[in-house]
Amino acid sequence: MNPTLQPDAATSVATAMLCTLSWQYEHENTQLTRLHELAKAGSWNASTDIPWVAWSRHREFPCSRSSNPLCGFGFYEALPEDRQRELSWWQHGLEISEILHGEQAALQVSAQLVQLLPDMQAKFLCAVQVHDEARHVEFFARYLRDTVGVIHPPSDAMRELIHRALQEPAWEHKLLYCQVLIESLALARLQELRRHCRAPALRHAVDYILKDEARHVHFGTEHLRRHIARMDPHARDNCSLRLLDATLALAGSLNIYTRIATAQGWPLPAMRRHLREYRLQHPDLNRNRFRQLALNMQAVGLLTPACKAQFDSLNLLG
């Protein structure tokens, strides 16, 4: 285990985009207009509106014990409390780092969408989203530096998704990656954090961020619905299954507990058995994580019969 591992300073991604200029500045008073007004009124400051009170990782656990899958595992329970706390912060740092990288992905893709989207009203909303995502990146980076103590590199699946989203030439697919896939997973994970996290700064910021993310998803689904409806059924199936495959790869990419078991010298079969039992005891955990995605896919017309069958085969929705 290397608790001080730092991500690469920068990665270059070659992209090719056509910038769309709109000369139509008038727009109707639509749902997008109301979302834009909400966005302007909902701004907050990650430096001054968050209670950055001292929260020591050397004395406190990051989240409630009931939310930690390691609890109840014999090898973990045999450790002294200070070692359990250290492992819990490492686990927490990996999870929050992945959220941070997802927020940067949304920042980069929403900035591209300002150029690509064909109408001015949508450009306005994406421009506000760029500001929102920059604020989220600012908060999570500071929280990881000051409270957790380390920023871990992105998982291979997260890195691949970011590259794919940035290199995707069609604005419709960028919007799907950004507003449906990344934001759906973020909403579900942030809702879990809000219930179980203990650090005051994180609890406070999550309330703000959840409002921002819900608005982003609303904009994306509202704007995508008409375009998805014009796809032929085969193209719609391919699009929905590709989105679900990317989500499953991302959701299972970190292998946090395998990494912890390996670092601790714990037997992997015992860890896998424990995690299976944990999932059986907490059947709503995965369902809650994927329910938001399913709702948003349904809202844009991508919860096709083939996609629904895939959800059912994996028992992701119950």
Instruction: Give the residue extent of every domain in the chain.
Output: 73-313
pLDDT in tens, 8-54: 667 777 777 777 777 676 666 577 778 778 877 778 999 999 999 87
Q: HSE, CB side, 13 Å, CA atoms: give it for residue 79.
A: 18
Asked if the model's pLDDT at residue 267 lies above 70, the reply is yes
pLDDT on residue 5: 46
Give 1's pLDDT tier (boundaries 50, 70, 90).
very low
Residues of the chain above pLDDT 70, percent = 93
pLDDT in tens, 133-149: 999 999 999 999 999 99
pLDDT in tens, 202-253: 999 999 999 999 999 988 898 888 889 888 888 888 888 888 888 888 776 6
pLDDT on residue 27: 64
Taking the domain 73-313, which CATH number applies?
Answer: 1.10.620.20
The Cα–Cα gap between 296 and 312 comes to 17
pLDDT in tens, 168-203: 888 988 999 998 888 888 888 899 899 999 999 999
The Cα–Cα gap between 196 and 199 comes to 10
CA distances from 202 to 3, 91, 216 (A): 21, 16, 20
β-bridge partners, 197:
63
The Cα–Cα gap between 44 and 34 comes to 19
pLDDT on residue 113: 95
The Cα–Cα gap between 209 and 42 comes to 10
CA distances from 285 to 26, 49, 315 (A): 45, 31, 12
pLDDT on residue 266: 96
Contact in structure between 153 and 99 (CB atoms under 8 Å): no
Quick one: the chain helix, strand, coil %, rounded to 5?
A: 70, 0, 30
pLDDT on residue 318: 60
pLDDT on residue 118: 85
The Cα–Cα gap between 210 and 76 comes to 32
pLDDT on residue 3: 41
Q: How far apart are the first and last CA of the chain?
A: 36
pLDDT on residue 255: 79
